[in-house]
Amino acid sequence: KNEVEQSPQNLTAQEGEFITINCSYSVGISALHWLQQHPGGGIVSLFMLSSGKKKHGRLIATINIQEKHSSLHITASHPRDSAVYICAVKETSGSRLTFGEGTQLTVNP
Amino acid sequence: DGGITQSPKYLFRKEGQNVTLSCEQNLNHDAMYWYRQDPGQGLRLIYYSQIVNDFQKGDIAEGYSVSREKKESFPLTVTSAQKNPTAFYLCASSMDRFGDTQYFGPGTRLTVL
């Protein structure tokens, strides 16, 4: 079993829909990251969370430390949101990141 | 502009040849990382370096080697001992060894024929 599990693996939505991607982890963490990987392969960091909720534009990330679960929400989705979204955690015991397998999001016009 | 560069974007090599992937950063970051990405799998750590002239093996270091002679450069050599070298390779850096926010390069797609 992976230490970081994401669901769903693939998600197709229509433009304008509200999207939720989930991440569950099994280890103690000091921080959780949400990353976005575009078709060309480059990765950008969206959020780093250690508690609560963060919002940036149409993106919202939440984390529940007790339940070891985080969600990434996209409101009013747009085709340009199509990408792979990756959850990664930094364990309290180390400095390295452990990555989930990613969620492929496709938003159709 | 500050950032991380990887070259080349696409690389083809014959089986049995060593190949070196370039990673350069001008962010003045202490820590640098090499990851491998395969379809359907999360990024896996190959090697990382927390400071110049020092580096540690990650989870899948066999068949790879690195050097960190300069702060801004962390080249990765894929040797002939790596059994399945075809993959997408990503380099990243972070300000310090705690790696709170990692900045990623654009990646190199290596295909071994």
- Mean pLDDT per segment of 10 residues, for chain A of length 109 residues? 89 97 94 92 91 96 96 97 95 84 96
- Cβ count near B112 (within 10 Å): 18
The reported pLDDT for the residue numbered A104 is 96
Are the CB atoms for A60 and A69 separated by under 8 Å?
A: no
The Cα B74–Cα B65 span in angstroms is 10
Position B41 scores a pLDDT of 85
Which of the four pLDDT bands, split at 50, 70 and 90, describes residue B40?
Answer: confident
- Tell me what pLDDT residue B56 has: 95
Contacts of B4 in chain A (CB under 8 A): none
Q: CB contact, 8 Å: B39 with chain A?
A: no
For chain B, say whether A25 makes contact (Cβ under 8 Å). no
| Of B100, B73, B105, the residue nearest B89 (C-alpha) | B105
* Residue B1: pLDDT band with limits 50, 70, 90: low
pLDDT number for residue B62: 96
Q: How far apart are CA B11 and CA B26, in angstroms?
A: 23
Both structure tokens of A13: 């939505």
What is the model's pLDDT at position A94? Answer: 72
State how far residue A96 is from chain B, nearest Cα, in angstroms. Answer: 7
What percent of chain B lies above the pLDDT cut of 90?
A: 75
Residue reference for tokens 């359907």 = B40
Average pLDDT over residues B55-81: 95
Question: Quick check: B64 and B46 in contact, CB under 8 A?
Answer: yes
A63 residue type, one letter: I
Dihedral angle of Cα B44, B58, B92, A19, to the nearest 10 degrees? 30
Tokens 């059994």, residue? B83
Per-residue model confidence (pLDDT) at position A1: 59
Q: Is the confidence at residue B46, as pLDDT, over 80?
A: yes
Pick from A57, A91, A85, A90: which is nearest to A72 by CA?
A85
A40-70 pLDDT, tens digit per residue, is 888 999 999 999 999 999 999 999 999 999 9
Where do the DSSP E strands lie in A1-109?
4-7, 10-14, 19-25, 29-37, 43-49, 52-56, 59-64, 69-74, 83-91, 97-99, 103-108
Cβ distance B97 to A95 less than 8 Å, yes or no, reads yes
For position A41, what pLDDT does the model report?
A: 84
Instruction: Say yes or no for a CB contact (<8 Å) between A43 and B42.
Output: no
Dist. CA A34–CA A42, nearest whole Å? 14
Residue B55 confidence (pLDDT): 96
User: In which band, very low, low, confident or very high, does the pLDDT at B99 lie, cut at 50, 70 and 90?
Assistant: low
Give contacts of B45 with chain A, Cβ < 8 Å.
96-97
User: Does B50 score more than 70 pLDDT?
Assistant: yes
pLDDT score, position A36: 96
For residues A63 and A52, is the Cβ–Cβ distance under 8 A? yes
What does A78-97 look like in DSSP terms, one character per residue? -GGG-EEEEEEEEETT-S-E
How many residues in chain A? 109
